[in-house]
A = this chain, B = another copy of it.
Amino acid sequence: MSLTVKGRATRERIIEAASRRLRSEEPGEMRLDDLLADTGTSKGQLFHYFPGGKEELLLVVAGREADRVLAEQEPYLSELGSPESWRAWRDALVARYGAQGENCPLGSLMGQVRSTAGVAAVVSAMLRQWQDHLRDGVRAAQAAGTADPGVDAERAAAALIAGVQGGVHVLRSTGDSGHLEAALDEFLDRLGRT
């Protein structure tokens, strides 16, 4: 399937609309007809560009959204090491998710697709990357002597990912960011050698 310039633009417009709607106040279930209304396109076009229908489209969107999660944490994520860098990352995360409020693009996405398998895989891969960055950050801090060398970097990173995920989850359903902050701060306390 080769796309013309115009075609690629339309396809992009559809993805963009889905993505935007997902990040909007009330994502709810995403209906194809809404997207068509948003973009001024038609059923024919949507299925022309996404023969797999809704599922295929959402999978593409999931990929974009996953990339965005990591991209939004740069440059913090790649620069973890010093206590200040950890702190900055922590603050950025809290600010980011606090502003986002009850909404969580990938979270909503997980609930939309019947066979969640595809989206789940995308999310897993993203989590894995995220965790790797954190683990490297812990090791860097240990190498620099600013973190307790007794901490198992891999396990600590896994626990941190769990804490962040859970914190965001609670934030999503209660609007309270306390759990997210608690998870982050407990981690930082444990990291720093006392």
Contacts and interface: CB of A to CB of B under 8 A. Distances in A.
A64 to B, nearest CB: 19
A178 B128 CA distance: 12
A77 interface: no
B159 A185 contact: yes
B179 A190 contact: no
Interface stretch (A14-22, A43-51, A80-88, A164-172): A164-172
A183 B164 CA distance: 11
Contacts of A178: 158
A185 B124 contact: no
Interface residues of A, number: 37
Can you tell how many copies of this chain the complex includes?
2
A2 interface: no
A179 B161 contact: yes
Contact of A110 (B150, B163, B173): B173
A159 B173 contact: no
A155 B188 CA distance: 13
Interface string A103-115: 0000000110010
A38 interface: no
A186 B150 CA distance: 12
A120 B174 contact: yes
A58 to B, nearest CB: 15
A138 to B, nearest CB: 11
Of all A-B residue pairs in the complex, the 7 with the closest CB atoms, nearest first, are A166-B166, A165-B166, A162-B166, A158-B182, A159-B186, A162-B183, A159-B182
